[in-house]
Amino acid sequence: MTPSEIDKIFRDEAGRALATLIRLVGDFDLAEDALQDAFAVALERWPACEVPDNPRAWLVNVARNKVIDRIRRQAVFRSKQQALVHELELNAQAPDEPPATLDDDMLRLIFTCCHPAFAAEVQVALTLRTVCGLSTAQVARAFLVSEEAMAQRLVRAKQKIRLAGIPYEVPERAGLAQRLDGVLAVVYLVFTEGYVATSGTDLMRPDLAVEAIRLGRLLDRLMPDRAGIKGLLALMLLHDARRAGRQTPGGDIVLLEEQDHSLWDRAQIEDGLRLVEDALCLPGRPQPYAVQAAIAALHARATSFAETDWPQIAGLYGVLLRISPSPVVELNHAAAVSMVDGPSRALALVDAITARGGLDGYELMPAVRADLLRRLGRKKEAREAYRAATEATQLEPLRRLYARRVREMD
């Protein structure tokens, strides 16, 4: 097995392995260091021998042993060494056992990240770092702060978990509702990173998208008849169903208007459509995720891009603006309006958002504006906007898309 193949296994398994280690160790930094040590051992051993049937459990077991060794070496832990080591050994999973006890650890980690003791931005930052596996520098870019400032923020959050004794667990039913909005937000964040990566050479990280959907199903079983949960699960399923049509074999982006609908996963679409109906039929005010899922359902039901019901999509974005207003929703609404009333009307909406400064630093803003200018034939301005979009993104497939658009205008 080559180092690149081993690296892929590590990317696929790292999130859930880390979640399990944090449960066993009770310390974010210790778990992260131990997992890196385990990966180094894998790079050394796996090329020369057969890869374990259960790589995740192997990594957890090796990392657990690394933690035990470290605890034994550190004098500060001597007073409680025996109890800690004994607990780790009792809770450890052998490398050849099935991963049944690992399945809920990611959910426990997300509920920990979403503890009400943390501000929303800290919850998101912890999730990006621990669940999505983004580097501190990548998380800092997402928040438009320096890497040093983000590193300090993450250190303080991890210290608070340790010093305050915040339990690494899914809370009892009475505490579920208090954290549910944050949990849904971070699960969607995990999915979004899988659907369109923050940076790198690959457009998507399917492992994260699949993991987010799995977590959505767990939440739906944990708290049935919640419109927000069903809506989010439907939204993720409907978006992910288009995965096979979203890029070329060479890794270039295939835009929605160019996608082959026959490549979409019809079984997953049917599952998503059923969940949309369930979410919208539940009592109470419309939930934002359910409305977003209804928009995704209209895309999924269309037999072609030309047959898409854009007036209804624009109308649903109007509903979303009323129940969950944000500049990003405004931008999406403007994009839908461009398909109904034309790019000139949409550009006016986008420029109004820009004038208010609502999306300063948001990397997709110049891309949307560039597309509208291109459709209006304002080539010089469009090229400038595409250059701004290129500078704003760290994702190579997007950079190639913007360069292609510029070439098409020559």
Task: For the full predicted model, state whether its pTM sits above 0.85.
Answer: no
196 closest CA partner among 145, 161, 259, 240: 240
Asked whether the beta carbons of 300 and 273 are under 8 A apart, the reply is yes
Contacts of 285 (CB under 8 A, 6+ apart): 323
Nearest to 197 by CA among 185, 208, 187: 208
pLDDT digits over 174-191, tens only? 677 778 888 898 889 889
pLDDT at 258 over 60: yes
pLDDT tens, position by position, 6-61 = 888 888 888 889 988 888 888 888 899 999 999 999 988 888 777 888 999 999 99
Q: 361 falls in which pLDDT band (50, 70, 90)?
A: confident
Does the pLDDT at position 405 exceed 70? Answer: yes
Which band of pLDDT confidence, cut at 50, 70 and 90, is reported for residue 93? very low
Q: Crossing angle, helix 364-375 and helix 396-408, to 10 degrees?
A: 20
Residue with tokens 């503890």: 115
CA 12/CA 7 separation, integer angstroms:
9
User: What pLDDT digit, counting tens, does each position of 129-167 carry?
Assistant: 888 787 888 788 777 688 999 999 999 998 888 888 887
Contact 344, 338 (CB under 8 A): no
373/365 Cα distance (integer angstroms): 12
Locus of tokens 């809770």: 91
Examine the pLDDT at 349 and tell me if it is beyond 80: yes
Q: Give dist(CA 407, CA 401) in Å, integer.
A: 10
Q: Cα separation of 123 and 129, whole Å?
A: 10
With bands split at pLDDT 50, 70 and 90, how would you rate the model's confidence at 295?
very high
Residues 299-321, buried b or exposed e (16+ Cβ, 10 A)?
A: bbebeeeeebebeebbebbeebe
Rg of the Cα atoms in the chain: 23
> Which range in 174-178, 229-233, 359-363 is most confidently predicted, on average pLDDT?
229-233
For residues 112-129, give the mean pLDDT.
Answer: 86
